[in-house]
A and B are shown apart, each in its own frame.
Chain A
Amino acid sequence: DADVTQTPRNRITKTGKRIMLECSQTKGHDRMYWYRQDPGLGLQLIYYSFDVKDINKGEISDGYSVSRQAQAKFSLSLESAIPNQTALYFCATSDPTVTDTQYFGPGTRLTVL
């Protein structure tokens, strides 16, 4: 089984709808992240969380909110989706050891019409 899972994997929605993307991990990591990827732009950090009570905004948090329900679960919400939020969304986890490498989930492809 995958260490980092995301649901749904694909979602098409309409402008103005509320959408929640979910991320679960079995790696036992405290740190979790949400990124979006747009073609040709690399990845941009939306939110990150060091533990259940510690949530922080990334570089592009406007229009998004998150919830850390447990160490293993980190959800991303779009309160009122708009077309320019159409993107590939990745969840990642890391362990603050020497390397602190981030491990990514499979991604959610979101289309907002």
Chain B
Amino acid sequence: ELKVEQNPLFLSMQEGKNYTIYCNYSTTSDRLYWYRQDPGKSLESLFVLLSNGAVKQEGRLMASLDTKARLSTLHITAAVHDLSATYFCAVNQPGAGSYQLTFGKGTKLSVIP
């Protein structure tokens, strides 16, 4: 059974600081997704990582994937208040395309002035 663990689950950080969210998964997978969810809103796709060593960047967010370690990171650079949200990673089950996604519990990020 595929398990996906995120840590931390709650993160309060000051504006301007850097931090990293970790996503560990238990079995081999061929793709990993990061989503953002604002309170009371839907999930917005941020990144999809398809291969070992993949790195994607958008603004102050950078995601990377290490398939050997079964680990993805979401790095936040010089945080701003607008980044406050819950971030989910999701991993597909091997050979299943994307349809059998297993989600982590989410990391609730609060960026304070």
A45–B92 Cα distance when bound, in Å, is 12
Q: Does B78 contact A (CB under 8 A)?
A: no
Would B99 and A106 count as touching, CB distance under 8 A? no
Interface residues on A, range: 20 to 34
**A84 CB within 8 Å of chain B:** no
**Interface residues of B toward A: which range?**
20 to 34
Minimum C-beta distance from B74 to chain A (A): 15
Across the interface, do A90 and B105 meet the contact criterion of CB distance under 8 Å?
Answer: no
B residues in contact with A43, CB < 8 Å: 43, 88, 90, 101, 103
**Interface set of A (CB-CB < 8 Å, partner B):** 31, 33, 40-45, 48, 50, 58, 90, 94, 96, 98-107
B interface residues (Cβ-Cβ under 8 A, vs A):
4, 9, 31, 33, 35, 41-45, 48, 50, 88, 90, 92, 97-101, 103-106
